[in-house]
Amino acid sequence: MPSKITPAVRAALEAAVGTANLFSDPDKSADYGHDEFSLQEIAHAPDLVVRPGSTEEVAAVLRIADANSVPVTPRGGATGLCGGCVPVRGGIVLSLERMDRVLEVDADNQMAVTEAGVRLSDFAKAVEEAGLYFPPHPGDEGAMMGGLVATNAGGSRAVKYGTIRNYVRGLELVTPAGDVLTLGGKLEKSSTGYNLMHLVIGSEGTLGVVTKATLHLKAKPGIMRSLVVPFDALDPALETVPLIMKRGIVPLAVEFLEIEPITLTEEHIHKKWPTKLGRTHLLVILDAASEEEIDRLSQAVAAVCCEKGAIDVFIADTPSKQDEVLAIRSKIYDAIKSGTVEILDIAVPRAEVAGHVHFVRQVAAKYDIWLPTFGHAADGNVHTHIMKARYEAGRLVPVPESEWRPKTDPVRTELFRDCKARGGVISGEHGIGLVKKPYLSLVLDERQIELMRAIRRAFDPRGIMNPGKIFD
């Protein structure tokens, strides 16, 4: 397909953002053609990368693109895992990297206003310097705030504090036609018309470009503590989770992990997990205002785990021990990425996690494929890795492509169908993007998808915004 970036279009874009802030050199623009999805075969170079520095410049770019039917793919930190910012139809990649200011931290209202290109690590630092706290913590701190909003990012802390959606109070949105909308604000309540703000959250850049976000903050927690609890089997480990919740304990996070990925990650980052006992481990992270309260919660969680047959309870009660545990958990994907085809993020009701993981193991045996699985046990978000490698003697051993490639689609399909049967969805936090698009109809009926298409057409009648994503 020929590029729609004519000399006249390019000249207009240069006038809008400055010559230094757009480029089409293949050596530079290739980096803007992919995200963190492991298979580079989905990458697609843009015709032009444009880097606006303000909302006004974003609006000007979109007006030019809309008038000339040029596809626009918004791009944040490109830490996504489903091809959400891959410019599959060429056109413009609209990178928000220059819009990197935290505009305000309002302690009186416990709100912060940030531009879309601020990285999560920088946002968290600015908030903490003001004595406040932003609880959501998706896995990659290089993610940008606009992308977190666009995907309704989650992370392990969602069980206690919720996803990004729970913190967004206001958005500045530039529509595909170049109109600037102010949605919400520093408000805790609104019953004023349709909530377009919540429609935009999780829309993956298909309805417009988020340029600013107003986010709710919380008081900084006093103390955090991590408990690592090994079990001989999956079922008692996961049965522990609802029992903890029934006792009135709401952990910051509860992760379940298998021993093989832990071993690989130890080797990858040269850190040590507290124990190699058992096959399935729970990582329970608690937070509290005082030492007395964190001790009480730790003892209560340990008691529940022991009731369900835990082999032992290891407490990371110093900052260095805690950092080591959290580093290993956060780097598992990095450790096995070279052997990964795709990391799924199926979400099922909490009580269905064990049944789904058992089904994963059956599928692994059926197709003779390694499917390491771990995830957020307390919120039902399960990460199964479809692998092009095996685990042997503590290391990854590559599998020939002729062996793994024919298995990936049937494995994916079986796991997604099981997810649907359990009342789940195919994405809890990563989004649909490009990679999961063919499977959306497995979990959503056609009427729902058609209503989504109608909403998309209302925002974007020319179909220029992040085309080819979620659905066609």
**181 lies in the same domain as 206:** yes
Is it the case that residue 123 has pLDDT exceeding 70? yes
**215 lies in the same domain as 107:** yes
**141 lies in the same domain as 167:** yes
**247 lies in the same domain as 320:** yes
In a domain, 57, yes or no: yes
Q: What is the mean pLDDT of residues 414-440?
A: 97
**136 lies in the same domain as 213:** yes
Q: What is the CATH number of the domain that holds 209?
A: 3.30.465.10
**290 lies in the same domain as 358:** no
Domain encompassing residue 175: 102-219
Taking the C-alpha atoms of residue 329 and residue 154, their distance in angstroms, rounded to an integer, is: 16
Name the residue with tokens 């003697």: 393
pLDDT digit string, tens, across residues 260-282: 999 999 999 999 999 999 999 99
**232 lies in the same domain as 311:** yes
Q: Which amino acid is at 397?
A: V
**289 lies in the same domain as 344:** no
pLDDT of residue 140: 84
Is it the case that residue 233 has pLDDT exceeding 90? yes
**343 lies in the same domain as 297:** no
Taking the C-alpha atoms of residue 126 and residue 133, their distance in angstroms, rounded to an integer, is: 10
pLDDT of residue 276: 92
Percent of the chain with pLDDT over 70: 100
Cβ contact 119:144 at 8 Å: yes
Q: What is the mean pLDDT of residues 152-172?
A: 94
72-75 and 92-95: which strand pairing?
parallel
Helix (H) or strand (E) holding 415: helix 401-421
Is it the case that residue 17 has pLDDT exceeding 90? yes
In a domain, 168, yes or no: yes
- Per-residue confidence at 2, pLDDT binned at 50, 70, 90? low
In a domain, 411, yes or no: yes
Q: What is the CATH number of the domain that holds 87?
A: 3.30.43.10
Taking the C-alpha atoms of residue 165 and residue 186, their distance in angstroms, rounded to an integer, is: 15
Q: What is the mean pLDDT of residues 23-51?
A: 94
For 60-86, b/e burial (b = at least 16 CB within 10 A) is bbbbbbbebebbbbbbbbbbbbbbbbb
pLDDT of residue 318: 82
Q: Looking at 298, 330, 362, which one is the last position of a domain?
A: 330
C-alpha distances out from residue 165 to 11, 17, 153, 291, 428, Å: 38, 31, 8, 31, 12
Number of domain units in the chain = 4
Taking the C-alpha atoms of residue 57 and residue 79, their distance in angstroms, rounded to an integer, is: 24
Q: Looking at 201, 219, 237, which one is the last position of a domain?
A: 219
In a domain, 247, yes or no: yes
Q: What is the CATH number of the domain that holds 351?
A: 3.30.70.2740
Taking the C-alpha atoms of residue 242 and residue 282, their distance in angstroms, rounded to an integer, is: 13
- Chain centroid to Cα 7, Å, comes to 37
pLDDT digit string, tens, across residues 307-319: 999 999 999 878 8
Alpha-carbon dihedral sign for residues 336, 337, 342, 346: positive
- Count CB atoms within 10 A of the CB of residue 28: 10
In a domain, 455, yes or no: no
- Name, in order, each residue with C-beta under 8 angstroms of 312's C-beta and a sequence gap of 6 or more: 229, 230, 275, 277
Q: Looking at 73, 97, 121, which one is the last position of a domain?
A: 97
- Per-residue confidence at 225, pLDDT binned at 50, 70, 90? very high
Residue-averaged pLDDT of the chain: 95
Cβ contact 35:78 at 8 Å: yes
pLDDT digit string, tens, across residues 82-106: 999 999 999 999 999 999 999 999 9
Is it the case that residue 216 has pLDDT exceeding 80? yes
Cβ contact 168:114 at 8 Å: no
C-alpha distances out from residue 14 to 9, 17, 23, 48, 54, Å: 9, 6, 10, 11, 14
In a domain, 446, yes or no: no
Name the residue with tokens 């935009």: 200
For 345-367, b/e burial (b = at least 16 CB within 10 A) is bbbbebebbbbbbebbeebbeeb
Output DSSP code: residue 385. Answer: E
In which region does residue 382 sit, left (phi positive, over 0), alpha (psi from -120 to 50) or beta (all else)?
beta
Taking the C-alpha atoms of residue 358 and residue 459, their distance in angstroms, rounded to an integer, is: 42
Cβ contact 110:88 at 8 Å: no
159 class by beta-carbon count within 10 Å (0-12 exposed, 13-18 middle, 19+ buried):
buried
pLDDT of residue 1: 59
- Per-residue confidence at 376, pLDDT binned at 50, 70, 90? very high
**293 lies in the same domain as 391:** no
Q: What is the CATH number of the domain that holds 257?
A: 3.30.70.2190
Cβ contact 163:154 at 8 Å: yes
Q: Name the β-bridge partners of 376.
A: 255, 381
**306 lies in the same domain as 395:** no
In three-state secondary structure terms, 53 is: coil
Is it the case that residue 130 has pLDDT exceeding 90? yes
Q: What is the mean pLDDT of residues 105-121?
A: 97
Q: What is the mean pLDDT of residues 25-44?
A: 93
In a domain, 132, yes or no: yes
Q: What is the mean pLDDT of residues 189-203?
A: 97
Q: What is the dihedral of CA 470, 253, 389, 410, to 10 degrees?
A: -40
In a domain, 197, yes or no: yes
**347 lies in the same domain as 434:** yes
